[in-house]
Amino acid sequence: MANDKTAHWKDLLRKRLASAKQDGRTEEEKKAEETELFTKYYTEWKRGEKGEDDSFKHIPRFYYRLPAEDEVLLQKLREESRAVFLQRKSRELLDNEELQNLWFLLDKHQVPPTTSDEAMISYESFLKVGEKAGMFISRSLHPIRLFFTARVYAKLLHNDPYGRISIMQFFNYVMRKVWLHQTRIGLSLYDVAGQGYLRESDLENYILELIPTLPQLDGLEKSFYSFYVCTAVRKFFFFLDPLHTGKIKIQDILACSFLDDLLELRDEELSKESQESNWFSAPSALRVYGQYLNLDKDHNGMLSKEELSRYGTGTLTSVFLDRVYQECLTYDGEMDYKTYLDFVLALENRKEPAALQYIFKLLDMENKGSLNVFALNYFFRAIQEQMKIHGQEPVSFQDVKDEIFDMVKPKDPYKITLQDLVNSGQGDTVTSILIDLNGFWTYENREVLVANDTDSNTADLDDT
């Protein structure tokens, strides 16, 4: 049987070779036929042998190629289309007069009894307000009806014994939604690519044009605008772009609290305490930039390792600073203002996952994704050396190591990962122990400090 098959293939091959010798076509014609046959058989294979699966013919087109840089007309068309779309979405938003009318309607339909001096509304009255609200909205496609649904009502329903919701809470919910849509449209105007994210330059333009609308920034000199914008933008990118892609989703910007902090500067009566705790305030931006200038002793606009060593209390270890200059972007061994901002954000927010990720990368010398006993010992040795310099008795590493592992409780008892640090809630304490003598001293004397605070509070109460 096998011999018959072999003979059959031999005959086919001989016939094919014979026909090839008699074929008078050129190589180009042969290649064209080969391509045609390949396309035919490939298409048939994609459809199925019997052409049973033709559903692809009915699937609507869902991918549209972005215009290339040299396709100027297509780019202009796309920009105009987006602008018209955003304008239409903007017109759909509730204006101040409509919001005021909505409040009057809600107030008119409040349901007794009143509890805690807060007006309440029942589900039946809630639906009636929804119907009446649609009457004073002339635009047929207005999303006002989306606010008056069972889902929204259930979200705001808490422990009222009569099954009602707070009118004020519902109105604040509507205001918040309107603000989010309005802000999203405003941010989308700066989305040059039209892909739902902002690049660094896009966000810089947004904040630069926002400055004149923030009364709390009226005192800033225009020469400082570029430094202020850089300071503000870095916070967004440090926390929202951990992979350093150079772009942030507009949805992420809206979901975080940074935009709220920035727009809080519209309040002309913002307290001094609120300004000092707000990264985007003028005092905060001037403080950070002022620290940078004070550290820059040679006035070249950059920071060397020696200059950065005086940061804060001046107790960061030299080993840690070596790692900063090895891993972070520098120019001829010196740090610029943008890199300095990342450094400051990491050290001032050590409880945050993004800050812990920044510091963890510096501690993970071997890029293994974990810290073993050797790594902990390497960094803590610098703490011990600083203690000797200050005339203190060095603490045993074994004791510190045991305390660190007890605090973190890692999944693997022999190494600590970034996720272990984040999950433990003790990441700020652990990193402070390893990189900062002042941080270690604070941890080591925590019981004494707590006792002193308690004594001072007791003394204050006795005085009163």
Q: How far apart are CA 102 and CA 134, in angstroms?
A: 10
pLDDT of 250 over the 80 cut: yes
Q: What is the pLDDT of residue 377?
A: 95
Half-sphere exposure in the Cβ direction for 262 (13 Å, CA):
23
| Structure confidence at residue 55 as a pLDDT band (50, 70, 90) | low
Contact residues for 82 (Cβ-Cβ < 8 A; gap 6+): 188, 194
Query: What is the secondary structure of 252-290 as a DSSP string?
Result: HHHHSSHHHHHHGGG-TT--HHHHHH-TTSHHHHHHHHH
Q: What average pLDDT does the segment 224-228 reach?
A: 95
pLDDT of residue 459: 47
Q: 340: Cβ–Cβ under 8 A, 6 or more apart, which residues?
A: 292, 303, 308
Q: Which of 294, 380, 280, 386 is nearest to 340 (CA)?
A: 294
- From the list 107, 181, 188, 196, the residue with the least C-alpha distance to 144 is 181
Highest mean pLDDT among 72-81, 263-272, 294-303: 294-303
pLDDT in tens, 322-341: 999 999 988 999 999 999 99
Least confident range from 17-31, 84-98, 437-451: namely: 17-31
3-state SS class at 197: strand
pLDDT at 139 over 60: no
**pLDDT one-digit tens code per residue, 397-427:** 999 999 999 999 999 999 999 999 999 999 9
Percentage above 90 pLDDT, the chain: 61
The residue that leads in pLDDT, 270 or 337, is 337
In this prediction, residue 402 carries a pLDDT of 94
Mean pLDDT calculated for residue range 1-23: 67
Q: How confident is residue 135, by pLDDT bands cut at 50, 70 and 90?
A: confident
Q: What is the pLDDT of residue 137?
A: 62
- Residue 167's pLDDT band (cuts 50, 70, 90): very high
* Residue 362 CB neighbours (<10 A): 22
- Asked if 213 and 266 touch (Cβ cutoff 8 Å), the reply is yes
Task: Flag the least confident range among 34-43, 162-171, 206-215, 403-412.
Answer: 34-43
32 confidence band (pLDDT: 50, 70, 90)? confident
Strands 370-371 and 416-417: antiparallel
